[in-house]
Amino acid sequence: MILELKEVYVNYNHIQALQGISLNVGEGEIVALIGANGAGKSTALNAISGLLKTTSGKITYAGQDITGHSPQAIVRGGIIQVPEGRAILTTLKVRENLEMGAFTRKNNRMKEEMDDIFTRFPVLRAKAELPAGNLSGGEQQMLALGRALMAKPKLLLMDEPSMGLSPILVREIFHIITEINKQGTSILLVEQNAQMALEISGRGYVLETGRIALEDSSANLLHNEKVIHAYLGG
Partner 1 sequence: MFLQQFVNALALGSVYALFALGFTLIFGVLEVITLAHGAVFMIGAFAGLTVVTKFNVSPITAILVGMMVSGMLGWLIDLVAVRPLRKRKFHHLAPMIATIGCATIIINVAQGIFGAEVYRFPFDFMPAMSYNFWAIQLTLLQIIIVGVALSLMMMIIFLLNRTKWGKAVRAVAESPRTAALLGIPVERVFQITAFAASALGGAAGVLTGINFNAIHAFMGGPIMHRGIAVIILGGMGDIRGAVLGGLILGFAEIMSVAYLSSDFRDAISFGLLFVILLIRPAGIFGSNLERKG
Provide the binding-site residues for ligand ATP, judged by CB under 6 A: 12, 15, 17, 35, 37-43, 84, 192
- With CB under 5 to 8 Å by kind, the binding choice for 72 among ligand ATP, Mg ion, partner 1, none is partner 1
Per-residue binding string, partner 1, 15-54, x by CB under 8 A, is ----------------------------------x-x---
Q: By CB under 8 A, name the one of 9, 11, 57, 96 that touches partner 1.
A: 96
**Does 62 sit near partner 1 (CB under 8 A)?**
no
Instruction: With contacts defined by CB under 8 A, name the span among 1-9, 29-37, 69-77, 203-211 that binds partner 1.
Output: 69-77
Q: Tell me how far apart the alpha carbons of residues 232 and 199 are, in angstroms, rounded to a whole number.
A: 12
The residue among 84 and 215 lying less far from partner 1, judged by its C-beta, is 84
**Does 100 sit near partner 1 (CB under 8 A)?**
yes
Minimum CB separation from partner 1 for residue 87, in Å?
4
Terminus-to-terminus CA distance in the chain, angstroms? Answer: 33
Cβ atoms < 10 Å from Cβ of 60: 16
Q: How far is CA 130 from the centre of its chain?
A: 26
CA–CA–CA angle 7, 157, 68 (5° rounding): 45
Minimum CB separation from partner 1 for residue 218, in Å?
27
Minimum CB separation from Mg ion for residue 85, in Å?
9
Q: Tell me how far apart the alpha carbons of residues 225 and 229 are, in angstroms, rounded to a whole number.
A: 6
**Does 81 sit near partner 1 (CB under 8 A)?**
yes
**Does 68 sit near partner 1 (CB under 8 A)?**
no
DSSP line for 113-159: HHHHHHHH-HHHHHTTTSBGGGS-HHHHHHHHHHHHHTT--SEEEEE
What are the residues facing 155 on neighbouring strands? Answer: 79, 186
- With CB under 5 to 8 Å by kind, the binding choice for 147 among partner 1, Mg ion, ligand ATP, none is partner 1
The residue among 11 and 60 lying less far from ligand ATP, judged by its C-beta, is 11
- With CB under 5 to 8 Å by kind, the binding choice for 35 among ligand ATP, Mg ion, partner 1, none is ligand ATP
The answer to whether the Cα torsion of 86, 99, 124, 129 is positive or negative is: positive
Q: How far is CA 88 from the centre of its chain?
A: 15
Local structure of 165: helix, strand or coil? coil
- With CB under 5 to 8 Å by kind, the binding choice for 38 among Mg ion, ligand ATP, partner 1, none is ligand ATP
Residues whose CB is less than 8 angstroms from the CB of residue 36 and which lie 6 or more positions away in sequence, other chains included: 192, 208, 230, 231
Minimum CB separation from partner 1 for residue 132, in Å?
10
